[in-house]
Structure 1
């Protein structure tokens, strides 16, 4: 079961989104960035969330309301599809599947 999404509260995890209407799904991973003192193990600054979307570092808060939670396996599958299906790699272009069907 997917965790609920709350407005303006990004959470680390795996997600998918469409960057344009009618486009393919793009894989998104939200990560936590921490500055830690190596001697004490304590945080030296507040934790920061960031997203990796379509291979680019992005602001997690701006993407949050457009994300759909997915499993790690589905996230990997989306990334692999980009390698084998050229239409899936063009995440900022629409796909008309009636003209050019895409097989998984």
Structure 2
């Protein structure tokens, strides 16, 4: 039996349509590949999340050599996509890139397990 990999356009359909503003049905136990944000604690800063489908493909036949598996990186660390999915909100590539850079350059954003008062931060910064 030929095992075809899931096409990229199919993998990222939910994320692409959600970022475009479409209301797409979402199921708690079905993480979808894409770029997301979430908070590690209530009122904490958003952190970047990437979910993707890992595919091992035979370069000669183009067939899957192992089952496809969902993988996730949350704030730079590997995570279980099923455990974090319900907290994720779809974001654009530019917002994802901004979040990954913000944690490296803004000290208040680096403390991802601490709640932030964004009103105080706005008053302190010019």
Q: CA deviation at 1:51?
A: 0.9
Structure 1 residue 37 corresponds to structure 2 residue 54: no
Indicate the structure with greater helix content. 2
Aligned counterpart in structure 1 of residue 35 of structure 2, from 14, 18, 21: 14
Matched length: 103
Aligned 1:1-104 pairs, distance under 5 A: 1=21, 4=24, 5-101=26-122
Pick the structure with greater CA Rg. 2
Normalised by the length of structure 1, the TM-score is 0.88
Gapped regions of structure 2 (runs ≥ 5): 1-20
Greater relative contact order (Cα < 8 A, sep 6+): 1
Name the residue aligned to 2:4. none
Instruction: Name the CA shift for 1:3/1:27 in 2 (closer, same or farther; >3 Å).
Output: farther
Q: Which runs of 5+ in 1 are unaligned?
A: none
In structure 1, C-alpha distance between the alignment counterparts of 2:112 and 2:54, rounded to whole Å: 26
Aligned to 2:13: none
Higher strand proportion (structure 1 or 2) = 1
The runs of at least 4 aligned residues of structure 1 exceeding 6 Å deviation read none
Q: Please report how far the alpha carbon of residue 100 of structure 1 lies from its aligned counterpart in structure 2 after TM superposition.
A: 3.9
